[in-house]
Amino acid sequence: MTPVFPGIRIDAAELRLVRLPLLTPFVISTGTMTEKLFPLLVLRGEGLEGYAEGVMDPLPDYLEETLPGSLAFLRQAVLPQLVGRRFDSPAALAALLDPWRGHRMAKAMVEMALWDLWAKALNLPLSAALGGVRDAVEVGVSLGIADIPTTLDRVRVAVEAGYRRVKLKIKRGHDTALLAAVRAEFPDTKLTVDANTDYRLGGLPLLKSMDAFGLDYIEQPLAYDDIHDHARLQAQMLTAICLDESIRSATDARRALVADAARVVNIKVGRVGGFGQARAIHDLCAAFDVPVWCGGMLESGIGRAQNIHLASLPNFTKPGDTSSASRYFRRDIVEQPLEAEAGLMAVPRHGPGLGVTLDRAYLAQVSDAPEVFAA
Ligand code: OSB
Ligand code: MG
């Protein structure tokens, strides 16, 4: 008889905060980031370690969830319950996590770390365990808000490096003149814009005028919680609307797809509650013939590896935001450089699971001592 896979017992969890300086401040319509502060979770079990990086910010400026709230939830509710338990599969976490409201970024950390452990226990790359179909994924860059000459320089660098698409961050008052300048110098570059919710339907003529720039899509032009108005906007615009902030779950994706509020979807595994939800959104979009791509949140090597493995699934047919880590950080917390070549990012396979290993010496320099939860 084939032995039954005994599942994974979680012996211990380690939670720490990591602070990495950004090489260049990253400016979007909602604010400026000068460092990347993120929680790192390590789960131990079966003699293995699973890792996950969270995407929550200190303040609710991207979505509602915040770092202090997530940490309290993980410390007080989730991690004490997790240790000592055995899980047949990552999906079995639902019984523990689903009863709690929201906190999808915190839940994602636990789920992603268990996926890493699970894939390692099966001795598979995470990509293979998820159903990925590619050894490398197409990537583009996301360029923060800057003046027009600076932006033109940055586009030139990205295009010369072979990135497959350029995404320009825009906001009211920093849109059409920028687009005209970029299009004048780069008539054929695959171009998108990301407003991070800065516009309203009242600005319809301005938004419609962006149809003239041959954009692949316009990302999250309207409010983070307004699928309805995005549907109204899509009905008036030729350019495809892509939703990011508005898609926090497969339920949100279903609402957006049924309403024709998004003809492209940005999936961030750390935003939607983990690989299970990310895959559900991926499958739902495929059923609606809506292409998806993998977004990013300026992740370190752990989060970057999470994104790359996810982006190997079949319906990730548009270039993702997972560009080279060296564009953001002088040094990463993983030992393997995650660098794109000619617009392709190889799925990391330096071992099973996430396929990257922690640089413990550097991690100790950029983080506090971990909080340990043991069975
Ligand atoms: O909207 O995609 C976004 C970074 C922080 C917050 C929101 C967003 C972003 C990015 C970064 O665009 C993309 C990357 O990780 O390179
Ligand atoms: Mg976005």
The CA 244 to ligand 2 mean position distance, Å, reads 5
Residue 52 resides in a domain = yes
Out of 137, 321, 332, give the residue to mutate to test ligand 1, the one with the largest number of ligand atoms within 8 Å of its CB: 321
CA distances from 95 to 87, 88, 274 (A): 10, 12, 15
Is residue 2 over pLDDT 60? Answer: no
pLDDT of residue 3: 56
Q: What is the mean pLDDT of residues 158-182?
A: 98
Domain assignment of residue 106, given as a range: 8-124+358-374
Q: How many residues does the chain have?
A: 375
What percent of the chain is modeled with pLDDT above 70? 99
CATH of the domain at 18: 3.30.390.10
pLDDT of residue 197: 98
Query: Cα–chain-centroid distance for residue 188?
Result: 27
Q: Is the pLDDT of residue 231 over 70?
A: yes
Residue 332: CB within 6 Å of ligand 1? no
CA dihedral 61, 67, 72, 74 (to 10 degrees): 120
Lowest mean pLDDT among 1-10, 82-91, 102-111, 310-319: 1-10
- Pick the atom of ligand 1 nearest to 167's CA: 12
Are 113 and 193 in a shared domain? no
- Mark whether 264 and 335 lie in a shared domain: yes
Phi then psi for residue 113, to 5 deg, are: -65, -35
Does the structure show a pLDDT above 60 at 31? yes
Q: How far apart are CA 358 and CA 371, in angstroms?
A: 17
Tokens 């007080």 locate to 76
Q: Is the pLDDT reported for residue 82 higher than 60?
A: yes
Say yes or no: 189 and 280 in one domain: yes
**Is 331 a residue whose pLDDT tops 60?**
yes
| CB-ligand 1 contact for 38 (6 Å cutoff) | no
Nearest to 206 by CA among 229, 228, 175, 178: 175
Atom of ligand 1 lying closest to residue 219 CA = 1
Mean pLDDT of all residues in 350-355: 97
Could you tell me if 288 and 225 lie in one domain? Answer: yes
Closest CA to 291 of 169, 190, 168, 203: 190
Q: Is 318 annotated as catalytic?
A: no
> Percentage of the chain with pLDDT > 90?
98
Check pocket membership of 142 for ligand 1, CB cut-off 6 A: yes
Q: Is 323's C-beta closer than 6 angstroms to any atom of ligand 1?
A: yes
Any residues with CB less than 8 A from the CB of 272 and at least 6 apart, and which?
104, 108, 247, 248, 249, 250, 278, 281
Summarize the confidence of residues 192-198 as an average pLDDT: 98
Closest by CA position to 268, among listed 14, 87, 65, 31: 65
In a domain, 1, yes or no: no
Residue 295 alpha carbon, nearest atom of ligand 1: 2
Measured by CA distance, the residue closest to atom 9 of ligand 1 is 297
DSSP conformation class of 125: B
Q: Which ligand does the CA of 142 lie closest to?
A: 1
CATH number at residue 236: 3.20.20.120
If you ran DSSP here, which 8-state letter would residue 175 be given? S
Best residue among 142, 241, 246, 323 to mutate for probing ligand 1's pocket (most ligand atoms within 8 Å of CB) is 142
What is the pTM (predicted TM-score) of this model?
0.97
Is there a domain that residue 306 lies in? yes
Q: pLDDT band for position 282 (50/70/90)?
A: very high
Ligand 1 within 6 A of CB of 246: no
Return the pLDDT at 4: 61
Would 30 be classed as within a structural domain? yes
Residues 35, 160 share a domain: no
Are 86 and 159 part of one and the same domain? no
Q: Which residue, by CA, sits nearest to atom 5 of ligand 1?
A: 297
Same domain, 45 and 111: yes
Residue 185 lies in a domain: yes
Expressed in angstroms and rounded, the spacing between residue 165 Cα and the centre of ligand 2 is 14
**Is the CB–ligand 1 distance for residue 296 below 6 Å?**
yes
**Do 77 and 160 reside in the same domain of the chain?**
no
28 in helix, strand or coil? Answer: strand
Atom of ligand 1 nearest to the CA of 299: 15
314 in the same domain as 366: no
Predicted confidence at residue 1, as pLDDT, reads 53
Task: Flag whether pLDDT at 350 surpasses 80.
Answer: yes
**Which ligand is in closest contact with the Cα of 62?**
1
Same domain, 246 and 312: yes
Q: Is residue 353 part of a domain?
A: no
Q: pLDDT per residue over 7-18, tens digit each?
A: 999 999 999 999
Measure 9 CA to ligand 2 centroid, in angstroms: 36
Decide if 190 is catalytic: no
Distances (CA, A) of 251 to 18, 83, 284: 32, 29, 10
Could you tell me which residue, 43 or 375, shows the higher pLDDT? Answer: 43
Q: How confident is the model at residue 291 (pLDDT cuts 50, 70, 90)?
A: very high
pLDDT digits (tens, 9 = 90+) for 247-258: 999 999 999 999
For 107-151, write each residue's pLDDT tens digit: 999 999 999 999 999 999 999 999 999 999 999 999 999 999 999
Å from CA of 171 to ligand 2 middle: 12
Mutate which of 145, 298, 328 for ligand 1? The one with the most ligand atoms within 8 Å of its CB, which is 298
For residue 328, the CA-to-ligand 2 centroid distance in Å is: 17
Catalytic residue among 107, 167, 268, 318: 268
Task: Report yes or no: 343 and 166 within 8 Å, Cβ to Cβ.
Answer: no
Residues 336 and 369 in one domain: no
From 107, 169, 171, 318, active-site residue = 169
For a mutational test of ligand 1's pocket, the pick from 27, 28, 310, i.e. the residue with the most ligand atoms closer than 8 A to its C-beta, is 28
The structural domain count of the chain equals 2
Residue 96 in this model has a pLDDT that exceeds 90: yes
Same domain, residue pair 267 and 321: yes
pLDDT at 6 over 80: no
Q: What is the mean pLDDT of the chain?
A: 97
Give domain status of residue 140, yes or no: yes
**pLDDT number for residue 43:** 98
In a domain, 351, yes or no: no
